[in-house]
Structure 1
Amino acid sequence: MSGVPVLQARGLGFAYERGHPVLDGADIAVHAGRRIAVLGPNGGGKTTLFRLLVGLVEPTAGEVLLDGHPLRRSRRGLARLREQVQLVLQDPDDQLFAADVTQDVSFGPLNLGLDAQQVRERVSAALAALEITDLAAKPTHLLSFGQRKRVAIAGAVAMRPRLLVLDEPTAGLDPAGVEALMETVAVLHDAGTTIVLSTHDVDLAYRWADEVAVVGAGRVHLAAAEDVLADADLLAASRLGPAWGPGVRSLLREAGSDAVPRTAAELQDLLDLRRTLRPQAALGLAPDQVSPP
């Protein structure tokens, strides 16, 4: 892929205990506008990778680059990184601390030294983007888990980062909550924010991501989503099950179809088509290959 990555890690190494590296020579490149899903087993290093990328911890080896320039761990260097890149942790209670929603979302913009009007504008826009404007005055301790997740993300969005890193954003949400949050993530991406998120849901990764990074054995394997999620051995080595999408696509190809359903809804559309057309037509064959129903 051409162009300088927004954020890149080269040869990252890190260990919480001497002799037990979590990451050992890990590489990843995040290009503007991409959607990257990060997969891996519990304890495999996903969260550690995120903390290294946003400067919360210092690598024992390797380097992090912002726009092609090595990150300087000076006060100014880290401040610049955090203006460009924001991390939202898996547990929103690790980030929420203010008395009410507006105060919490205001914290980052205030630390940027913005004037009161600019802070209000950023907070209003972030609350609207996360569809929680009605919660503006509500105490954070009275929010549901899903609402707290949205407030934590709004706090990051109010910083207007180029890159938003979400650690297990759908964890703990019911199916409706997952869909609602992913719709919001899509809106943020369409508005120009590059998104990296971690998940254990290979099917979510298949339908959403352009690229998938699998973290395990100290390294990061990054490639096109379809290639990674069709690699059964790679997934099994990371204690992940197969995604249904690549298997369905293989079956459709064997039947002569170019259809590429990425979601259950798209697959259902193909099944519904079978009700009015012969199976060959429903699979996307050329008109001259289809007999009249």
Structure 2
Amino acid sequence: MSAPLLEFAEVGFAYQPGQPILTGVNLRIDPGQRLAVLGPNGGGKTTLFRLAAGARRPAAGRISVAGTRARYTRAGLRELRQQVQLVVQDPDDQLFSANVRQDVSFGPVNLGLPAEQVRRRCEAALAALGVSGLADRPTHLLSYGQRKRVAIAGAVAMHPRLLILDEPTAGLDPAGVEALLSTLHDLHTAGTTVVLSTHDVDLAFRWADAVAVVSGGRVRTVATADGLADPALLAAAHLVPAWAPLVHQLLDQIPELAGARPRAVTELAALLHDAAPEDR
């Protein structure tokens, strides 16, 4: 088995002595995996992400990227951030340049890349996020959804192997959520491993290969189909079960629909439409 892209081994962290946020965390993310991180507000999701990106140093345990233990020297952090990029929940905490092109170019410029390579990376990232037409627009004149996409484009321009998104769908309308999920699918297909946090259990079931539930300072990784129908596990994280696994159980009791596995409301609606009598 190849080395995990990111691995936490017995990691602990506290902002204040005697008040641990995370304790004994073990987590493995393999290349190509799609991991959703669930948990209550203040439960440690953002701290987990900051540790993964090198913005915080663990008080205990170790974090490894592509089989190499993270180093917290200037050179070590520079190397880590070329492989792991974190996009925070509020894009206004991440955007600071005068216009979109400058903001997306900031990371590659600071890597010391040649100007032409910076330009190509910037254009590719803008295109991947569907914001090429905004390249010369001031960032403060963008809508919230546009700012979200530009913030992600800035991370994508770094060509990370692992892209971590903290609540990327928060504040987006349904159409914005669908557009973002389509973009994440394209990034995943192109070879970027994506991890995101969300409070939307149904979105996690629909999108993720696996789910990490953060609760009580611990992290438990579960298969989406089983874990997101476990009321006890989700109640501990202040969440409710996903509807899709429960609907699957119900469909299995209907002979002509048994085995159907819709993962989104649109898929369920299409299934019921196709199953309806022709003389409806």
TM-score range, shorter chain: over 0.9
Secondary structure of the corresponding residue to residue 213 of structure 1: strand
Residue by residue over 1:62-117, the C-alpha shift from the partner in whole angstroms, topping out at 9 and shown as x without a partner, is: 11001122111122211111001100000011111100000000000011111110
Matched, 1:264 2:252: no
- The one-letter amino acid paired with 1:127 is L
- The one-letter amino acid paired with 1:263 is A
Matched, 1:137 2:173: no
Counterparts of 2:226 and 2:52 in 1: how far apart (Å)? Answer: 24
Using the aligned pairs only, state the percent identity: 61
Matched, 1:111 2:123: no
Name the counterpart of 1:79.
78
| Residue pairs, 1:187-202, within 5 angstroms | 187-202=186-201
Name the counterpart of 1:166.
165
Name the counterpart of 1:58.
57
Counterparts of 1:268 and 1:101 in 2: how far apart (Å)? Answer: 39
Counterparts of 1:140 and 1:242 in 2: how far apart (Å)? Answer: 38
Name the counterpart of 1:227.
226
Counterparts of 2:197 and 2:149 in 1: how far apart (Å)? Answer: 16
Secondary structure of the corresponding residue to residue 127 of structure 2: helix
- The one-letter amino acid paired with 2:236 is A
Of 36-45 and 182-191, more deviation after overlay is shown by: 182-191
Secondary structure of the corresponding residue to residue 252 of structure 2: helix
Moved over 3 A (4+): none
Distance 1:259 1:142, change over 3 A: same
Residue by residue over 1:148-179, the C-alpha shift from the partner in whole angstroms, topping out at 9 and shown as x without a partner, is: 11110000000011110000001111111111
Secondary structure of the corresponding residue to residue 254 of structure 1: coil
Counterparts of 1:216 and 1:3 in 2: how far apart (Å)? Answer: 29
Aligned residues, how many?
Answer: 277
Counterparts of 1:50 and 1:232 in 2: how far apart (Å)? Answer: 25
Counterparts of 1:19 and 1:83 in 2: how far apart (Å)? Answer: 33
Q: Which has the larger radius of gyration?
A: 1
1:277 is displaced (CA, Å) by 6.8
- The one-letter amino acid paired with 1:259 is A
1:3 is displaced (CA, Å) by 2.8
Name the counterpart of 1:21.
20
Name the counterpart of 1:3.
2
1:255 is displaced (CA, Å) by 3.1
| Residue pairs, 1:171-186, within 5 angstroms | 171-186=170-185
Q: Return 5+ residue gaps in structure 2 as ranges.
A: none
Distance 1:27 1:277, change over 3 A: farther
Name the counterpart of 1:288.
none
Name the counterpart of 2:274.
273
Q: Return 5+ residue gaps in structure 1 as ranges.
A: 279-293
Secondary structure of the corresponding residue to residue 98 of structure 1: coil
Secondary structure of the corresponding residue to residue 267 of structure 1: helix
1:190 is displaced (CA, Å) by 1.0
- Over aligned residues, Cα RMSD in angstroms? 1.2
1:183 is displaced (CA, Å) by 1.1
- The one-letter amino acid paired with 2:157 is A
- The one-letter amino acid paired with 1:167 is D
Counterparts of 1:22 and 1:245 in 2: how far apart (Å)? Answer: 31
Residue by residue over 1:45-68, the C-alpha shift from the partner in whole angstroms, topping out at 9 and shown as x without a partner, is: 000000001110111111100112
Of 268-277 and 170-179, more deviation after overlay is shown by: 268-277
The TM-score, its normalising length taken from structure 2, stands at 0.96
Counterparts of 1:247 and 1:3 in 2: how far apart (Å)? Answer: 35
Secondary structure of the corresponding residue to residue 163 of structure 2: strand
